[in-house]
Amino acid sequence: MARRLTTFSKFLITVAIVGAAYLGFRYLMSSGALDSVVDNTASDGSTRSTGKAGDAIRIAVVTWGGYAGGQYFNEGFHASEKSRFYKDYGIKVDFKVLDDVDASLAAWKNGEIDVHWYTIDAFPTIVSGLKDFDPVVLWQADWSRGGDAVVARRGISSVGDLKGKKIAVAELTPSHSFLLWLLDAGGLTPKDVQIVPQSSAPNAAEAFKSGNVDAAVVWSPDDEACLRAVPGSRVLESTRSASNIIADVFFAKREYAEKNRDKLQKLYEGWMKGAAEINASEANKAKAVKILTEGLGIPEEDARMAINNVRLVTHGDNVNFFGLNPDFKGVNGNSLYLRMTNEYQKLGYAESSTPTWRTIAYPYFVQSTNLSDAANDAEQQKVFVKVSGEEAKEKEAIATKRVSISFRSGEFALDENAKYIIDREFVDIAKAFGNARIRIEGNTDDVGNRASNVALSQKRAQAVADYLVREHSMTPNRFIVIGNGPDKPVASNATSDGKAKNRRTDFELIRE
């Protein structure tokens, strides 16, 4: 007959079992058998996220230098207790590199990603497809400053030369946005060129290198590879001059943003601190380069170029971007998003029901942050050195846009209608190409004395420049003002229609 165990016997057995389990666990840990289960340490010593909801803020990024502020402050790409986000704010952040954008967006929809990147210029093409998730834009991370470029074959030296040519471009991407802006600056439309659609910017570069197209919109460092591969080719224009067109932002589901306000505000604040530190110090930039080299798996030289080809925006820049500074007259999120919504709707790539900026903008984190030191101030306008004389006339034009501005006979004052035309036809271009010098040329028909016409056209061109300085806060030295009089007709002066075309103002973006 079986005997019951005494209470003391049960105690001894329990102690034995617990002891055996402890020894077994110690053995498995020392042998490394549990590494794949409990050890999430990355090669840089950081701790990888387990992927469980709530462990870390999971952020989708691509191979791009514009997110370096957050990755630098995080001391790497993976969630880690070494991270300043963790040390200073008690949050964990995990950057996930997902270069397949469709797969990345699917992961965001499925809840595998919390915060996702996109560029605000191209956001109108996808935002309607995300409406079931109620996306909101949280903050801006960067401006492209050389990371995007248009390369062109020998013989193409201006935007006007692209007319009728084949251009490879990844449609509905920042590359497409850049091309649309550049064509408008050169007085062309998409109908004036042959768009050769590509699945990605790297594929556009390959199409150019193979000789199948005359030009292509590419990403750095593919622009340099294209120039090496195609003799006589050149960078027609890049976002180094077209400085306020492509803006990377981060967005989340509204529900997630509402439930995680405290965590996201801390994420934003630390990110902005990181960006400001990189901008202010070459030593900090070198550290960021090393983080990108390992996190993106790219050569150090490419990582440095990736950071140098962007403007890592600061808290002050975000204040401007979200329209929170009433004195700011540059490009902000609303103006850029509205412009590109209209452009993509005209092309049939954005729905008529595309939400407004007011609907998607979520400035709470910017408004809740106070970073008042100089390193966090907004970027200032580029400082231009005044040029004049023959040097001014001979500078090469990248793009020329001809605008008809009416003046009363013999007068050079701008009336309200003339100001409206300037605002509609050129101000947005001038702001978007913020690092490009602008030449304004006044032109007349051949009626009257030539010398008088030259002097009058000079005054009219100067009146336009003065208006842009006074009303839109553009720096005076940016402008080159020339009066051509009747010397540069674009049509015959034998007809009234031709005379009207010759009475014009030319706006030209100038190559430095």
Residue 427, domain CATH: 3.30.1330.60
What distance in Å separates the CA atoms of residue 102 and residue 62, rounded to the nearest whole number? Answer: 12
The pLDDT of residue 221: 87
Please, are residues 448 and 427 in contact by the beta-carbon 8 Å criterion? Answer: no
Task: Please state the three-class secondary structure of 110-160 as a single string.
Answer: CCCCCEEEEECCCHHHCHHHHHHHCEEEEEEEEEECCCEEEEECCCCCCHH
> Which residue in 484, 465, 483 sits closest to 475, CA to CA?
465
Considering the domain architecture, whether residues 173 and 72 belong to the same structural domain is answered as no
What distance in Å separates the CA atoms of residue 126 and residue 128, rounded to the nearest whole number? Answer: 6
**Would residue 218 count as lying in a domain?**
yes
DSSP 8-state symbol, 423: I
Task: Please state the three-class secondary structure of 254-279 as a single string.
Answer: HHHHHHCHHHHHHHHHHHHHHHHHHH
Considering the domain architecture, whether residues 495 and 429 belong to the same structural domain is answered as yes
Angle at alpha carbon of residue 297, lines to 291 and 298, rounded to 5°: 90
What distance in Å separates the CA atoms of residue 123 and residue 117, rounded to the nearest whole number? Answer: 10
Considering the domain architecture, whether residues 314 and 370 belong to the same structural domain is answered as yes
End of a domain among 376, 402, 437? 376
**Would residue 26 count as lying in a domain?**
no
End of a domain among 220, 238, 256? 238
Considering the domain architecture, whether residues 273 and 304 belong to the same structural domain is answered as yes
Q: For the chain, how many structural domains are there in total? A: 3
Considering the domain architecture, whether residues 227 and 259 belong to the same structural domain is answered as no
**Would residue 396 count as lying in a domain?**
yes
What DSSP element (H or E) covers 470?
helix 450-472
What distance in Å separates the CA atoms of residue 277 and residue 260, rounded to the nearest whole number? Answer: 26
Considering the domain architecture, whether residues 61 and 169 belong to the same structural domain is answered as no
On the CB side of 485, CA atoms within 13 Å amount to 11
For the record, the structure tokens of 405 come out as: 């501005």
Considering the domain architecture, whether residues 275 and 212 belong to the same structural domain is answered as no
The pLDDT of residue 46: 36
End of a domain among 238, 256, 288? 238
**Would residue 46 count as lying in a domain?**
no
Domain that holds residue 411: 389-510
Considering the domain architecture, whether residues 340 and 197 belong to the same structural domain is answered as no
**Would residue 14 count as lying in a domain?**
no
Considering the domain architecture, whether residues 254 and 230 belong to the same structural domain is answered as no
Considering the domain architecture, whether residues 129 and 253 belong to the same structural domain is answered as yes
Please, are residues 79 and 263 in contact by the beta-carbon 8 Å criterion? Answer: no
CATH of the domain at 191: 3.40.190.10
Q: What are phi and psi of 344, to 5 degrees?
A: -70, -30
Considering the domain architecture, whether residues 400 and 425 belong to the same structural domain is answered as yes
Considering the domain architecture, whether residues 156 and 134 belong to the same structural domain is answered as no
Q: What is the pTM of this model?
A: 0.85
Burial (Cβ within 10 Å: 0-12, 13-18, ≥19) of residue 468: buried
> Which residue in 39, 69, 491 sits closest to 315, CA to CA?
69
**Would residue 381 count as lying in a domain?**
no
What distance in Å separates the CA atoms of residue 288 and residue 395, rounded to the nearest whole number? Answer: 37
What distance in Å separates the CA atoms of residue 161 and residue 294, rounded to the nearest whole number? Answer: 42
**Would residue 289 count as lying in a domain?**
yes
Helix axes 282-296, 300-308, angle to 10 degrees: 120
Please, are residues 310 and 238 in contact by the beta-carbon 8 Å criterion? Answer: no
b/e 314-335 (16+ beta carbons within 10 angstroms → b) = bbbbbbbbbbebeebebbbbbb
Contacts 24+ apart (CB under 8 A), 337-340: 337/120, 337/121, 337/123, 337/124, 339/428, 340/120, 340/121, 340/122, 340/123, 340/124, 340/177, 340/180
**Would residue 448 count as lying in a domain?**
yes
Per-residue pLDDT of the chain (512 residues; tens, 9 = 90+): 334 445 444 444 554 554 555 555 454 444 444 433 333 443 333 333 333 445 899 999 999 999 999 999 999 999 999 999 999 999 999 999 999 999 999 999 999 999 999 999 999 999 999 999 999 999 999 999 999 999 999 999 999 999 999 999 999 999 999 999 999 999 999 999 999 999 999 999 999 999 999 999 999 889 999 999 999 999 999 999 999 999 999 999 999 999 999 999 999 999 999 999 999 999 999 999 999 999 999 999 999 999 999 999 999 999 999 999 999 999 999 999 999 999 999 999 999 999 999 999 999 999 999 999 999 999 999 999 988 777 778 888 999 998 888 877 788 899 999 999 999 999 999 999 999 999 999 999 898 899 999 999 999 999 999 999 999 999 999 999 999 999 989 999 999 899 888 888 889 999 87
What three-state secondary structure class fits 215?
Answer: strand
